[in-house]
Amino acid sequence: MNVIEVIARRAVLRPDDPALIIEDRRMSYSDLMLNVAKVATGMRAAGVGRHDVVAILAPGLLGQIIGSLAVAHLGAVSVALIAEGGKGVALAAAAALCDVKYVVHNMPDEFHIDAPSIQAYLKLQSLLSGTYEELVPMVPTEPEDMFRIAMSSGTTGRPKAVRYTHGRVILRAQLTIGLYPSGPGDRTLVCLGAGLLFSVIYWLRTLMCGGAVVGPAGAPLEAALRHRATFLLSSPATAIDMLQMARSDARFSRPLPDLKTLCIGGSTVAVPIQEALRKHICPNIAINYGTTETGLVAVVDQDVMDIDPTSSGRLMPWVEAEVVDAQGNPLPAGEQGVLRIRSPAMANGYIGATDASKSAFRDGWFYSNDVATISQGTLVYLSGRGDVLNLSGIKVDAARVEAVVARDPAVLECVAFASPDDQGVQRLIVAVVAPDGLDAEALSARCTQAFGKRFEPAAIKIVKAFPHNEGGKILRDEVIRTIGQEGNPLGMN
Partner 1 sequence: MNIVEPIARRAVLQPNKPALIMGDVTLTYSDLMANVAKIGANLSEAGVRSHDVVAIVAPGLVGHVLLTLGVAYVGAVSLPIAVGQADQGEVEMIEVCGASFLTHSRGDGFKLDSVTLRGQMSLAMLTQTAAPPVPMAHVEPGEICRLFLSSGTTGRRKPIEMSHQGMLLNALLTGIEFPADSQDRSLLTLGPALLYTMMFWLRSLTAGGAVIAADPTPLEALRKHRATFVLASPISATSLLKVAQIEGRLAPISDHLRRICVGGSAVSPALQGLYRKHLCANLALVYGATETGLLAVADTELQQRDPTATGNLVAWAEIQVVGEDGKVLGPGESGRLRVRTPGLANGYPGDESGAFKDGWFLSGDYGTLSREGVLHVGGRGDVLNLSGRKLDPGLVESVIAQDSAVLECVALTVPGPLGQPQLVAAVVAPQGLDEEALKQRCLAAFGKNCVPKVVILESFPHNEGGKVLRREVQALAERALLPAR
Q: Which stretch binds partner 1 (CB under 8 A): 7-15, 58-66, 434-442, 473-481?
A: 7-15
295 near partner 1, judged by CB under 8 A: no
Which of these segments, 6-14, 80-88, 212-220, 236-244, binds partner 1 (CB under 8 A)? 6-14
Closer to partner 1 by Cβ: residue 18 or 42: 18
Residue 181 Cβ vs partner 1, minimum distance, rounded to whole Å: 4
**Of the candidate residues 88, 130, 352, 377, the single one contacting partner 1 (CB under 8 A):** 377
Minimum gap (Å) between residue 165 Cβ and partner 1:
12
Residue closer to partner 1 (CB basis): 6 or 438: 6
Please name every residue paired with 164 in a beta bridge, in sequence order, or none if there are none.
Answer: 148
Tell me if residue 97 falls in helix, strand or coil: helix
- x/- string (CB under 8 A) for partner 1, residues 121-160? ----------------------x-----------------
What whole-number distance in Å separates Cα of residue 477 and Cα of residue 398? Answer: 13
| Sign (positive or negative) of CA dihedral 242, 247, 251, 257 | positive
In angstroms, the CA 317 to CA 300 distance is 14
Query: Of these, 160, 163, 227, 314, which contacts partner 1 (CB under 8 A)?
Result: 314
The identity of residue 66, as a single letter, is I
Indicate the residue among 80 and 305 with the shorter CB distance to partner 1: 305
**Residue 332 engages partner 1 in binding (rule: CB under 8 A):** no
335-354 residues in contact with partner 1 (CB under 8 A) are 342, 344
Instruction: Determine, following the binding rule CB under 8 A, whether residue 303 of this chain makes contact with partner 1.
Output: yes
What's the rounded Cα separation, in Å, for the pair 433 and 142? 57
- In angstroms, the CA 190 to CA 213 distance is 7
Nearer Cβ to partner 1, position 315 or 415? 315
Residues 149-208 that bind partner 1 (CB under 8 A): 167, 170-171, 174-175, 177-178, 181, 208
Alpha helices of 108-234 — where are they, by DSSP H? 124-129, 166-179, 197-208, 220-226
Residue 265, classed as helix, strand or coil, is strand
Quote the distance between the C-alpha of residue 122 and its chain's center: 26
Contacts with 248 (C-beta within 8 Å, 6 or more apart), sequence order: none
Sequence-ordered list of residues with C-beta below 8 angstroms from that of 463, at least 6 positions apart, any chain: 431, 432, 433, 479, 482, 483
C-beta atoms surrounding 122 within 10 Å: 20
Q: Does 378 bind partner 1 (CB under 8 A)?
A: yes
- Selected range binding partner 1 among 271-279, 302-310, 402-410, 479-487, rule: CB under 8 A: 302-310
Name the minimum Å distance from CB 196 to partner 1.
22
Residue 150 C-beta: closest distance to partner 1, Å: 20
Rounded to the nearest 10°, the torsion over CA 183, 185, 189, 194 is: 50
3-state helix, strand and coil shares in percent for the chain, rounded to the nearest 5? 30, 25, 40
| Candidate residues 376, 469, 485, 493; the one interacting with partner 1 per rule CB under 8 A | 376
Element (H or E) spanning 320, and its range? strand 320-324
Binding residues (CB under 8 A) for partner 1: these are 1, 6, 9, 12-13, 143, 167, 170-171, 174-175, 177-178, 181, 208-209, 303-304, 307, 314-315, 317-320, 342, 344, 364, 375-379
